[in-house]
Chains A and B, each alone.
Chain A
Amino acid sequence: MGPFVPDLISDQLNLVVALAIGFLFGFVLEQAGFSSSRRLVGVFYGYDLTVLRVFFTAAVTAAIGVLLLAAGGLLDLTAIFVNPTWLTPAIFGGVLMGLGFLLGGFCPGTSVCAAAIGKVDAMVFLVGGVLGVFGYAELFPRFAAFADSTSLGPAKVYESLGVSPGLFVLLLTAAAILAFVVGGIVERKVAPDAAPSRLFPVKRHFVAAGVLLAFAALAAALPDRKTRLVAKVNAPAYVPHHVVKPMPPDELAFRIIDRDPRLRVVDLRPEAARKARPLPGTIAVPAGEVLGKEWRSTFSPRMVKKVLVAESEAEAKTAAYLLVESGFENVAYLEGGYGSFERTVLSAKAPEGEGRFAPVVERFREQARTALAERVRLERAAGTAAPKKVKKVQGGC
C-alpha cells in the first residue's frame, strides 16, 4: 500500500525518485507548450486556453486517481501530505502570484521548463524569483504573525462543503468539462484565426470527457476501503478467515500481570476513559485508526496475540475483524468489553457462575486487583511513555 516513503523508499533514494519524477514533470510541461509565456498568459486574455485545459485536466485526473487508489486499498490517505491552509495568507499570496503571473508571464514550474529550452525571459524570471524569496525572508520578521494567521490545518475542501470526497470530485470533473466547452467557444471568438481549439478533434474529446466522467462517477460510487470492510465484517454471513476468539477478562488479567511476552494488549478506548479507568501494560491506539500505517508494526508480529480492548465487545470485535481482513493474524478481543472486565476482575463482589471454583476465582481476582493497581501506579510514576514518533511524509514548497 502506498505511499512507499519513508518505509520502503529511504530519504536518500527518494531524492533519486525526485529527479526521475521531475524529469517526467518537465517533459510533459514542455510538450504541453508551457515553455512559452505568451501561450501561458493567453488564458487571461482568452486567445489561448492551454493553461486551463492542461491544469484542470491534470488536477481532476490526479484527484480521481487518488480516490480510486484509496478505494482499492492501494493508497493510505492518512499517510499522504495534505498541505495545511493559512486562509488569509493563501489569498494574499495567491493575489501576489496572480500579479506576478501577468507581469512575468510564467509561474515557477513553467519558468524552469522554459529556461531549460533557452527562453531568456524565463531565466530572468527565475532570478527575480530568487530575489523575491530573499526579500520576503529579510522582511519576514515584520509580518511573521500575519503569515501564520487564520490557520485551518490540513483542511479538506469537501469537509468544508459538507459533501463526500467522491461527490466533490464528480462535481469538479463536470465543472472542468463545462469550463472546457465554454472556454473553447470564448477562445474561438477572441482569436478566430489562432485559437488552438479550431483544430481539435471534437468528437474524440467528447468521448474522452465521457470516460473521465465515468471514472469520476466510479470514484464517487465506490465506498472507501474502511467503510467497505466494516460493512463486510458486520454482514450476518461473515466468517473470518483466521480464528478470532474472545478472551475472558480473567485470562486477560492473568496474562497482563504475568507480563506474558506473547501478548499485546491494545486499548482502543478514548483517552478520557483510559485515564479515568486505566488498564496497565497496554498500547493505546485510537479506535478509528487501527488500520493506519503507523500501527502496522504493533499488529504485525504473528507469534504475539493482539487483544483488543474497547468499551463494548462489538467495537473490539469489529476492529479485530478489520485487522484480520487486512492480513493480520492471531487477533483476539476482550469478551464483554471493558465494562465486563470491571464487573468481574475489578469487582469485590463474589464471582457468579463459577460453581465450586468460586473461592479460587475470588482469591485470584483479589490478588489481580492489587497487582493491576500496583502496575498502574508504577506506570504513572514512570510518566506517560513518549508517544511513538511516527515518520510522516513531508511535502509542500
Chain B
Amino acid sequence: MNARHMNPYLAGFLLGLVLLLTIFVTGRGLGASGATKSLVVATVGAVAPQHAAASPFYSKLIGPGHEAPLKAWLVFEVLGVLLGAFVSGLGADRLKLVTERGPKVSVKGRLLFAALGGALFGAGAQLARGCTSGAALSGMAVLSVAGFVTMMAIFGSGFLFAWFTRGLWLGAKAGR
C-alpha cells in the first residue's frame, strides 16, 4: 500500500464534485463500460458488417442514422481517464509494469481470473445498462432506482462471493 494516496474522503468529495460538474455541464453522468461496448460494436461493424446489421444488438447502434460508434461521449471520457490516471501516477511515481496479485496466486492464475472477471463485468454491465460508474455512482447522484438497485446488487453479491474467492486475495492470515 502506498501511503501517499489521497485521503479517501477527500478523494470521494473531489470525485463527487467531478460528477456534479459533469451533470451540471452535460446533463449526464460518468461512465466506463460504455466505451468497451462502443469498441466491440465498432469492431464487429467493421469486420462483419452483414452480421452486425442482422443482429438485434448491433443493428440498434450502427448503420445509417447513427454516429460512428467510436465517436461517443464515453469513448472520449475513457481516453481522458487513461490520460488523467497516467498523469496522476506519473506525479506520484507509481508508473510500473506489474501484475498485482494475492499472496497465494500465481501470475498466470491472476491474469486468468482478471480476464474472467472482466468478461463477467462486461456482460453484467450490458444487462444492467451500466457499471459501477455509469449505473451505480451516476445513478445514485440523480437518485434513480436503477442506481441504487445496481449498487446494492454489485456490492451485496460481492459480499456473498467474497468467501468463495478468498483464496485469490487473502494470505495465510487476514490483512496484508
Judging by beta carbons under 8 Å apart, are A156 and B123 in contact? no
Question: Cβ of B169 and Cβ of A131 under 8 Å apart?
Answer: no
Cβ-based interface call for A330 (8 A): no
Q: Is the CB of A128 within 8 A of B114?
A: yes
For chain B, the count of residues having a C-beta within 8 Å of the partner chain is: 130
- The chain A residues found within 8 Å of chain B, CB to CB, are 2-5, 9, 14-33, 35-39, 41, 43-50, 53-63, 65-66, 69, 74-75, 79-87, 89-122, 124-138, 140-141, 144, 147, 152, 154-158, 160, 165, 168-169, 180, 190-196, 199-200, 205, 208, 393-397
B51-74 near A? 1/0 per residue, CB < 8 Å: 000011110000000000001011
Q: Tell whether, in the assembled complex, residue B144 and residue A128 are in contact, meaning their CB atoms are under 8 Å apart.
A: no
In the assembled complex, the CB of B62 is this many whole angstroms from the nearest CB of chain A, namely 12
Min CB gap B173→A, angstroms:
10
Chain B residues whose CB sits within 8 angstroms of the CB of A84 once the complex forms: 129, 144, 146
Contact status A119-B126, CB under 8 Å: no
Task: Enumerate 29 A-B pairs (CB-CB under 8 Å) in ascending A order.
Answer: A17-B25, A27-B88, A28-B15, A30-B84, A30-B85, A32-B8, A38-B101, A59-B16, A62-B23, A81-B142, A83-B142, A84-B146, A86-B128, A89-B127, A90-B153, A92-B124, A97-B120, A99-B158, A102-B161, A105-B117, A107-B131, A117-B89, A120-B111, A137-B41, A140-B55, A141-B56, A147-B127, A157-B145, A395-B73
Distance in angstroms between the alpha carbons of A382 and B164 in the assembled complex: 67
| Residue picked from B20, B95, B143, most chain A C-beta under 10 Å | B143
A117 to chain B, nearest CB (A): 3
Q: A74–B24 Cα gap in the complex (Å)?
A: 8
**A61-B55 in contact (CB<8A):** no
Find out whether the CB atom of B113 lies under 8 angstroms from the CB atom of A103. Answer: yes
Contact A104 B117 (CB under 8 A): yes
Tell me what chain B mostly uses at the interface: helix, strand, loop, or mixed: helix
Q: A85-B149, A121-B111 are in contact. Are A53 and B142 (CB under 8 A)?
A: no
Q: Is B50 an interface residue (CB 8 A)?
A: no
Q: Which residues from 38 to 52 on chain B have a C-beta closer than 8 Å to any C-beta of chain A? A: 39-41, 44
Whether A95 pairs with B175 at a CB distance below 8 angstroms is no
Contacts known (A61-B17, A128-B118, A157-B143); A396 close to B26, Cβ less than 8 A:
no
Q: What separation, in Å, do the CA atoms of A49 and B155 have in the docked complex?
A: 12
CB <8 Å contact, A28 and B132: no
Contacts of A118 in B (CB 8 A): 89, 95-98
Q: Is A58 in contact with B12, judged by CB distance below 8 angstroms?
A: yes
Main secondary structure of the interface of A (DSSP, over half): helix
* A248 CA / B121 CA spacing, docked (Å): 64
A113 and B85 within 8 A (CB): yes
Chain B residues with CB below 8 A from A192, complex form: 175
Is A98 within 8 A of B153, CB to CB? yes
B17 near A90 with CB under 8 A, answer: no
For A29, the chain B residues whose CB sits under 8 A away are 15, 81, 84-85
Pick from B37, B87, B99, B169: contact of A121, CB below 8 A: B99
Given contacts A25-B30, A96-B121, 5 further A-B contacts (CB under 8 A): A85-B149, A93-B150, A94-B152, A156-B143, A157-B148
The 7 closest A-B pairs by CB, nearest first: A104-B117, A22-B80, A94-B153, A61-B16, A128-B118, A57-B12, A93-B128
Could you tell me if A116 and B140 are in contact, using CB atoms closer than 8 angstroms?
no
**Residue of A whose beta carbon sits closest to that of B122:** A132
In the assembled complex, the CB of A130 is this many whole angstroms from the nearest CB of chain B, namely: 6
Residue numbers in A under 8 Å from B149 (CB-CB): 85, 87, 90-91, 94
Tell me if B115 and A97 are in contact (CB < 8 A): no
User: Which single residue of chain B is at the shortest CB-CB distance from A24?
Assistant: B18
| Bound form: Cα–Cα A168–B140 in Å | 11
Docked pose: A371 CA to B50 CA in angstroms: 57
A43 surroundings in chain B (CB, below 8 A): 155, 158
